[in-house]
Chains A and B, each alone.
Chain A
Amino acid sequence: MTYGLGLFKGMLVTLRNFFRPVVTVQYPDRRVGIFYLAKKANISVIRFLLESPRESVKSLLGLVRVPVYVEQNPRFRGEEFTWYEDRCTGCASCAKYCPLGIIRIETHESGEYLQEGQSYFVDTFDIDIGRCMFCGICVEACPYDALFMGTGFERGRYQRSELVIPIEELKAASKRPSTWFRPQLESQKFDPWKSEADWETVGREAYKWHPKRPAQSGNPNQEDQVKE
């Protein structure tokens, strides 16, 4: 065998890969060429050149950027946990099961319907995601399907204190729960990257009653409520 043949074969492999498409996904934006812009405007390249010369020259120079949205899998375990206040009873299972103990919950008794098996009111629900490792055990531990993993992954901050998610933010956040450990969402083919989910539909059982609000008259599930 000739000496150097293996090297030559290797060179051919790299050359073959040289002509393959690039696999890099650019984030948060990427440069686009004129073909992309013309296709987006749904006209031919020549018409695009004539109609918007400024944009065409910019794109030919490689200066046009379009943002890239990275869509993860529905099971993606992201930050900003989706929390349904309406479902939460303040049992603090999540805080207990958290391996790092980063969930802080303060509750007080509502007092009003406690005799009827009603829940606590949650005053504080802080998640320190600066220390969170997104294992999802808190979600697994939640017995009432009130806590879900989120979908966010862009939470760069300058201070660790800003990484604590307070209850106000949890309440205000858009409800895009990850389907992680929530088979009921998966069976609905729910995709958090496309739609939001209401508190009534995310649970293992479709609760018609509200744990914190008094049962209204004519509620078909009133009997269930009494049983619980």
Chain B
Amino acid sequence: MSGSFLESNVIFQEIYCVLAGSKYAGESCSAQGLLPVGYDWIGFFIAGFAIMFILANAFMLGAAVFVYSERRLLGKFQLRTGPNRVGPFGLLQPIADILKLLMKEDIVPNGADKPVHTLAPIVMLAPAILVTAVIPFGSGYFLTDLNVGLLYIVAVSGMITIAIFMAGWSCNNRYALFGSMRGVAQLISYELPMVFSMVGILILTGSLSLIDVVNAQDIPFILVQPMAFVIFLIGTSAELNRTPFDIVEAESEIIAGYHTEYSGIKFALFQAAEMGSILVSGAVVATLFLKGWEGPFLPGPIWFLIKVYGFVFLMIWVRATLPRLRVDQVMGFAWKFLLPLSLVNIFVTGASVFILGDMENGVRVLDSVDLLLVGAINLLSLIACLVLAGFFMKTKASGGRSREILVSEFDPAGREVLT
């Protein structure tokens, strides 16, 4: 794997240049005599570690930036200012928050399962950071190019469920128990439609590697797969416990859900994991649907960041507007609406690729016009599904009985009916 890895990975090459003090010439360290033969892995290890260091720190910093931007933007949506006191424009607010959380007492409640209680924030944070490993930030900017990248993302982010359950169960608090139970149910339900929505992309690209997915996007997949995009967006926002699916930590119902009893740095870790996950999900969305790092004029990583922050803005906007669903409605939405929709998506995409694609070397290939046609079919079927759902929902909801009546004259006879 070393050869292809070195050739494509720009960051690795740059780090190599720093280490070896020379220009990378397509050879490994040992070939240049830097390391003894058979000890190439040291070079890989150092480079990989450096990239991991950068990624982990970028993750944490990104979480801090997200916290700041969320508070500021939410404030703007609500005609407030948001934090603006610490540092210029309140930019240092997340740092002040972190300092405060660091200095706070770390409370473990009486009767808590201490090892699990301590472990939960770490288990929460780790998968969120791990996902960053396979995401390409630019042409050649990635830690690793797994050929099962999509599967890896799904598998690793599934671990968050365990963390939430650990946190909720261990701290011996009933609100936390409610939160974790809701969380487990919700996360597992929404993983299905989310993964199914990726299948359409798999059909179109034929590869699980994220770099291949980006390279396959002649047209951004948001235009080819609008239905999958909508499903994936909803699924992501549910996986991230964002409104309207934030029943896991619904602050007006169960205080803070699974992290009710957490304080100090453990709480900070939970927050970092949650906020960072949003950026990571934004990165996944950008990679899968928005053509990744590609864009005109600007360098790749900047385009990537712009796309990620577009997603982040959407998340904040949704949070500023929508109320929360009830727990059974959240489940019902996943199982009764999103899952069938994602199956429809798989069917529609498969069928249109089957019909429109031309057979070449045993693979069906589509040109740009075909792709747009697939997108149009997809969009039409999405709208049809929404109209259908609207029809069902309307007939179901209270039978159209509820309406307000204006009574202008008081009629004492009206009381007779009610007694």
Touching chains A and B, CB distance < 8 Å? yes
A residues at B contact (CB < 8 Å): 1-5, 7, 10-11, 13-15, 17-18, 20-24, 26, 31, 61-63
Instruction: Decide: A3 near B393, CB < 8 A? Known: A11-B318, A14-B317, A63-B88.
Output: yes
Q: In the bound complex, how far is the Cα of B75 from the Cα of A5, in angstroms? A: 25
Binds A, one of B27-35, B77-85, B157-165: B77-85
Q: In the bound complex, how far is the Cα of B79 from the Cα of A109, in angstroms? A: 59
Contact check, A22 vs B80: say whether CB atoms are below 8 A apart: yes
Q: In the bound complex, how far is the Cα of B76 from the Cα of A17, in angstroms? A: 8
- CB-defined contacts of A21 to chain B, threshold 8 Å: 79
Which size class do B's interface residues fall under? Answer: 20 to 34
Contact check, A22 vs B79: say whether CB atoms are below 8 A apart: yes
Instruction: Decide: A17 near B318, CB < 8 A? Known: A3-B389, A63-B88.
Output: no
Does B49 touch A at the CB level, under 8 Å? no
A135 CB to nearest B CB, Å: 32
Contact check, B84 vs A31: say whether CB atoms are below 8 A apart: yes
Which residue of chain B is the closest to A11 with respect to CB atoms? B321
Q: In the bound complex, how far is the Cα of B84 from the Cα of A22, in angstroms? A: 13
Instruction: Decide: A62 near B89, CB < 8 A? Known: A3-B386, A3-B393, A14-B317.
Output: yes
The interface centre, meaning the residue of A2, A13, A31, A61 with most chain B CB atoms within 10 A of its CB, is A2
Contact check, A23 vs B390: say whether CB atoms are below 8 A apart: no
Q: In the bound complex, how far is the Cα of B78 from the Cα of A1, in angstroms? A: 29
A31 CB to nearest B CB, Å: 6
Q: In the bound complex, how far is the Cα of B89 from the Cα of A63, in angstroms? A: 8
- CB-defined contacts of B394 to chain A, threshold 8 Å: 1
A83 CB to nearest B CB, Å: 38
- CB-defined contacts of A26 to chain B, threshold 8 Å: 81, 84
Instruction: Decide: A22 near B322, CB < 8 A? Known: A2-B387, A3-B393, A14-B317.
Output: no
Does B383 touch A at the CB level, under 8 Å? yes
Which residue of chain A is the closest to B323 with respect to CB atoms? A10
Contact check, B79 vs A23: say whether CB atoms are below 8 A apart: yes
Contact check, A10 vs B393: say whether CB atoms are below 8 A apart: no
**Contact among A5, A17, A62 for B79, CB-based, below 8 A:** A17
Contact check, B89 vs A24: say whether CB atoms are below 8 A apart: no
B76 CB to nearest A CB, Å: 6
B111 CB to nearest A CB, Å: 38
Q: In the bound complex, how far is the Cα of B298 from the Cα of A59, in angstroms? A: 30
Q: In the bound complex, how far is the Cα of B397 from the Cα of A1, in angstroms? A: 13
A30 CB to nearest B CB, Å: 8
Which residue of chain B is the closest to A65 with respect to CB atoms? B85
**Contact among A4, A23, A63 for B386, CB-based, below 8 A:** A4
Contact check, B80 vs A24: say whether CB atoms are below 8 A apart: yes
Q: In the bound complex, how far is the Cα of B320 from the Cα of A207, in angstroms? A: 60
- CB-defined contacts of A63 to chain B, threshold 8 Å: 88
- CB-defined contacts of A23 to chain B, threshold 8 Å: 79-80
- Residue-by-residue, is B358-371 near A (CB-CB < 8 Å gives 1, otherwise 0)? 00000000000000
- CB-defined contacts of B321 to chain A, threshold 8 Å: 7, 10-11, 13-14
Contact check, B387 vs A24: say whether CB atoms are below 8 A apart: no
What are the 10 A-B residue pairs with the smallest beta carbon separation, nearest first? A3-B390, A62-B88, A61-B88, A3-B389, A62-B89, A14-B321, A23-B79, A24-B81, A2-B386, A3-B386
Which residue of chain A is the closest to B314 with respect to CB atoms? A11
Q: In the bound complex, how far is the Cα of B320 from the Cα of A17, in angstroms? A: 11
Instruction: Decide: A1 near B80, CB < 8 A? Known: A11-B321, A14-B321, A62-B88.
Output: no
For this complex, 21 residue pairs linking A to B, each with C-beta atoms less than 8 Å apart, are: A2-B386, A3-B386, A3-B387, A3-B389, A3-B393, A7-B322, A10-B321, A10-B322, A13-B321, A14-B317, A14-B321, A17-B77, A17-B79, A18-B77, A21-B79, A23-B79, A24-B80, A26-B81, A26-B84, A31-B84, A62-B89
- CB-defined contacts of B77 to chain A, threshold 8 Å: 14, 17-18
